[in-house]
Amino acid sequence: MHAISHVTGGGLANNLARVVPPAVEVRIDRSSWRPAPVFDLVQSVGQVSQRDIEATLNMGVGMVVMLPADAADAAIALLHGRGLSAWVCGSAAPSGSGTRDRVSLFGQHDGWPSAH
C-alpha cells in the first residue's frame, strides 16, 4: 500500500483516514514522537481533552507517508539525508471491517503530561 497525507486542520487520524482504503486499518503509536511544548500549552490553557486536540491539531506530524515496511528504512535515510525528521509512527494491515474509524492512535507521547 502506498499513500501520502498532508496533515493540516482536522487532526492526524482524520487526515490519514482520507487516503486509507476501506479494507485497511492503521494504528499510530503516540510513543513514536513527542509533540512540541506548544501543543501541551494549548491543551492545558484551553482545557482541551486529548481526543479533541488530536481531532483538531496535527500534534506536530505534518505529513504521513504509507509504504511497504521493507521500504521504510531507505525512505527515512533519504529524508534524514535532506535534513528532514522522519520515523516509523505506526502500521497498516488489512481489516475487512470497512468502518469509519480505520485509523486509531494508541499509547502515550513520551514525557507528555497525562493529566489533561
> For the chain, what percent of residues have pLDDT higher than 70?
91
- Domain assignment present for 80: yes
Residue whose cell numbers read 486536540: 53
pLDDT digits (tens, 9 = 90+) for 53-84: 999 999 999 999 999 999 999 999 999 999 99
The reply to whether 116 falls in a domain is no
Residues 6+ positions from 80 with CB-CB distance below 8 Å:
86
- Of 7-16, 40-49, 93-102, the range with the lowest mean pLDDT is 93-102
* CATH, residue 82: 3.90.650.10
Identify the domain containing residue 14 by its residue range: 3-106
Strand arrangement, sheet containing 24-29: 90-94, 24-29, 103-106
pLDDT of residue 102: 85
The answer to whether the CB of 93 falls within 8 A of the CB of 65 is no
Question: Per the domain annotation, does 34 fall within a domain?
Answer: yes
- pLDDT, tens digit, for every residue of 77-95? 999 999 999 999 999 999 8
Non-local CB neighbours of 35 within 8 Å, separated by 6+ positions: 59, 60, 109, 112
**pLDDT value, residue 98:** 55
Q: What is the DSSP letter of 97?
A: -
- Structural domain contains residue 111: no
**Comparing C-alpha atoms, which of 50, 29, 35, 33 is closest to residue 106?**
29
Which pLDDT value is given to residue 97?
Answer: 60
Number of domains, the chain: 1
